[in-house]
Amino acid sequence: MAISQLRSLKKPSGGKYKQQGRKKKAYELGREPALTKLEKKRSKYVRTKGNHRKVRLLSTDTANLFNPKDKKYEQVKIKTIVDNPANRHFVRRNIMTKGTVIETEKGKARITSRPGQDGAVNAVLI
């Protein structure tokens, strides 16, 4: 069965909302999360609405690091994942999402992009 982005058919109390009277629509389609890992770079393209494409970053080992002092970007290697506010279990599984704190060659950095949606890991030195 397809993943839908509709609201739940049940109320917080456990009761049911009135029947919607229609089927699921293609524009309500949801997908499994990419769960970007810390490995050799792998990505895939996903077709989206309007025949556009979205890059899903499945795994990567580099990041575009922004240094606020120099105001310059630099591509660096990711050593490890330190903290992930989205899910504490993502740290031991080496999964990167927006807001994840990573350890790089230049020091600790926070990810500002959404790797599963953007196809790149952009980070700011902290």
Each residue's pLDDT tens digit, 24-59: 888 888 899 999 999 999 999 999 889 999 999 999
Q: Are 38 and 81 in contact (CB under 8 A)?
A: yes
Q: What is the pLDDT of residue 1?
A: 67
Q: Which long-range contacts (CB under 8 A, 24 or more apart) does 41-50 make?
A: 43/119
> Whose CA is closest to 111, among 119, 103, 122, 120?
122
CA atoms within 13 A on the CB side of 104: 27
Domains of the chain as residue ranges with CATH: 34-125 (3.10.290.70)
Taking only the tens place, the pLDDT of each residue in 99-117 is 999 999 999 999 999 999 9
Backbone angles phi, psi at 102, to 5 degrees: -120, 155
Taking only the tens place, the pLDDT of each residue in 74-94 is 999 999 999 999 999 999 999
Assigned token pair, 27: 């524009």
